[in-house]
Structure 1
């Protein structure tokens, strides 16, 4: 799978199924609800720190990593029996966590420090830290199994601009080069990588595409990427981009690329009818479906748009409460609400009975299922 939020790999646990993990907080504690997708029932509640700000699974799926934004630690759990395996100290206010595709290194964006913690997800030890000084605050991470880099999006601390930094995966020299330009919306991940692993698409008010050649960054802008917020680049060469809140369409490129002469090329470009106030974008494990959520804005309700990536047909379902989005399979997705999660039958675009996580004092945060090489 390529670098996008839905680069997911199903894993069989000892009980024979994979799970959906939902982080939530109460007035004084954080928890993870483990949902069995075969029954849509909560089979386990894990107490985890005070404020679970981000979650991820490692590529083999045998460990769940949860960043605690108040404790400044990553808590690790076995996905076989949900027992705690240990904790990894990180920097101040961790907001994003990712394990690179080989499973040998993990990365945590410390928004309050600012720095990136690099750790060993096998032995659960800190390897080092990438200090960003006072240049910018890291908030999103992305990678690709074909790329030698992990990319970190950073919100610039004035007078510095927003930028993306690249960390070499298999080296003790972490900080390499920076790409400047776009103004990021730090509530979304603006990074996605070409399926070949050699190009980064930097999405923002001004969109960039870039790659490294003999230690130098080859980069250029293309106006068709302007006003984009987030995106997923599929293995078949399709790049779907969400738009700023006032736009009611998605941007679609085929084979967006850049050559060593700084020339940007693409085979096709389309604008797909959509809705305003676009939020999350994900794909199903085989990339058959694209899912886009919408926050309540110009209409009373938000909802979920399900797009067939083969024929670009789409369906929209209104929902009263919208949060995170995760695909469990090519037939089922889960959308977080305020204190519940709604399963979706993808074949019919039909919402199934909601799974209540708790009372009005519970607040759902993140929903994940399977490995991903892009943070939410």
Structure 2
């Protein structure tokens, strides 16, 4: 689950990022021995350069802003493998909550947050010492995380325990105090929360409504909500401007994409046509492309739907054998789409697919650049 990073953010990290930050990392369980691995892939050569053994049933994977570290959640072990990208070796193994489902690194690279779905808690890690500094207990099961571009708030989407309604919490990164919202919607597994690139707004999407919040200096305030039917995931982009643009995927009988623009007021929302079987929405780091994986349903073939935010009426569909998740490279030149035991590169300039890269197991997670959503 994936969002664009503001062009001005992390420039200091990018200026000193290593060549490793331009690689792609995927997690999988190898069919032959049932062990967990991370595949290190070269986007230039479209081949696996190395494999790194990790824990059992590895899933979510995240790349640090400076490209020096990869974090992998081992779901069956309740651990986090920390990989040094200069050596492709595990440098630390840390405990997490039960069934870790999401990893988020703050833009300043100081903290890592791991959502422990089974234990209803978030583990906070100090990235300088690779130690657990605190565990934040929650009422519900966290499954997805987002951070605002200034690193002031971490937002966690949580599955409801008993009420059937999901909730979300706002965590202040300075003191890890928690502001909990009551159950208000039911969401899909894809990240339902996105923060605008200017750090002033965030949106929460679900099957019944979309809620918009404004981010103040030290707090978040409710702004408005729209009852617009089911929306499953969201990304944001500044669309080449200072204000916020949100793109929500909408599946079901009437698939589509909803676009809302926020500056001094709201423009929209309006709908963009899409395809049946939408699964994951992601934005490129340069904010010039939005990619939606299409799993395919009935007469709809799987593939990748690509939209230019500044030219919404112009979109491209690249047909693939299968399409689940997507990672976009740091230079925004390629999208890598996960499939059944393979990874397919798609050139985002020519909209052409390239030869699939075979992987020795079903891919469970992908990281191709630093992301502020997980």
What's the TM-score, normalizing by structure 2? Answer: 0.90
Which of 116, 120, 141 is 1:114 aligned to?
120
Which of 211, 223, 246 is 2:253 aligned to?
246
Unaligned stretches of 5+ residues in structure 1: 258-264
Cα distance in 2 between the residues matched to 1:15 and 1:192: 28
**2:206 aligned with 1:204, yes or no?**
yes
Evaluate the alpha carbon distance shift between residue 85 and residue 303 of structure 1 in structure 2; reply closer, same or farther with a 3 A threshold. same
1:160 Cα offset (Å): 6.3
Evaluate the alpha carbon distance shift between residue 13 and residue 143 of structure 1 in structure 2; reply closer, same or farther with a 3 A threshold. closer
For the 8 Å contact 2:70–2:84, the answer to whether it is kept is yes
1:281-292 alignment runs, 5 A limit: 281-292=281-292
CA displacement 1:234-275 (0-9 Å, x = unmatched): 123321110123322211111178xxxxxxx41233211111
For the 8 Å contact 2:343–2:359, the answer to whether it is kept is yes
**2:334 aligned with 1:327, yes or no?**
no
Question: What SS does the aligned partner of 2:104 have?
Answer: strand
Cα distance in 1 between the residues matched to 2:116 and 2:289: 32
Cα distance in 1 between the residues matched to 2:211 and 2:91: 40
CA displacement 1:318-364 (0-9 Å, x = unmatched): 21211210111332111011111101111221100111112xxx211
Cα distance in 1 between the residues matched to 2:2 and 2:211: 17
For the 8 Å contact 1:53–1:95, the answer to whether it is kept is yes
Superposed CA RMSD in Å reads: 2.2
Cα distance in 2 between the residues matched to 1:125 and 1:161: 34
For the 8 Å contact 1:343–1:352, the answer to whether it is kept is yes
Question: What SS does the aligned partner of 1:154 have?
Answer: strand
Aligned equivalent of 1:276: 276
Which of 227, 232, 252 is 1:229 aligned to?
232
Unaligned stretches of 5+ residues in structure 2: none
Cα distance in 1 between the residues matched to 2:199 and 2:104: 17
Cα distance in 1 between the residues matched to 2:191 and 2:223: 19
Evaluate the alpha carbon distance shift between residue 158 and residue 15 of structure 1 in structure 2; reply closer, same or farther with a 3 A threshold. closer
**2:49 aligned with 1:50, yes or no?**
no
1:357-372 alignment runs, 5 A limit: 357-358=359-360, 362-372=361-371
1:156-167 alignment runs, 5 A limit: 156-159=160-163, 161-167=165-171
Evaluate the alpha carbon distance shift between residue 175 and residue 26 of structure 1 in structure 2; reply closer, same or farther with a 3 A threshold. same
For the 8 Å contact 2:63–2:70, the answer to whether it is kept is yes
For the 8 Å contact 1:11–1:17, the answer to whether it is kept is no
Aligned equivalent of 2:79: 73
Bigger Cα displacement from structure 2, 294-303 vs 317-326: 294-303
CA displacement 1:176-233 (0-9 Å, x = unmatched): 3325412111x20000012332332111021111246676742432124x31111111
For the 8 Å contact 1:251–1:272, the answer to whether it is kept is yes
Cα distance in 2 between the residues matched to 1:110 and 1:16: 28
Evaluate the alpha carbon distance shift between residue 215 and residue 291 of structure 1 in structure 2; reply closer, same or farther with a 3 A threshold. closer
Evaluate the alpha carbon distance shift between residue 121 and residue 298 of structure 1 in structure 2; reply closer, same or farther with a 3 A threshold. same
Evaluate the alpha carbon distance shift between residue 12 and residue 81 of structure 1 in structure 2; reply closer, same or farther with a 3 A threshold. farther
**2:186 aligned with 1:183, yes or no?**
yes
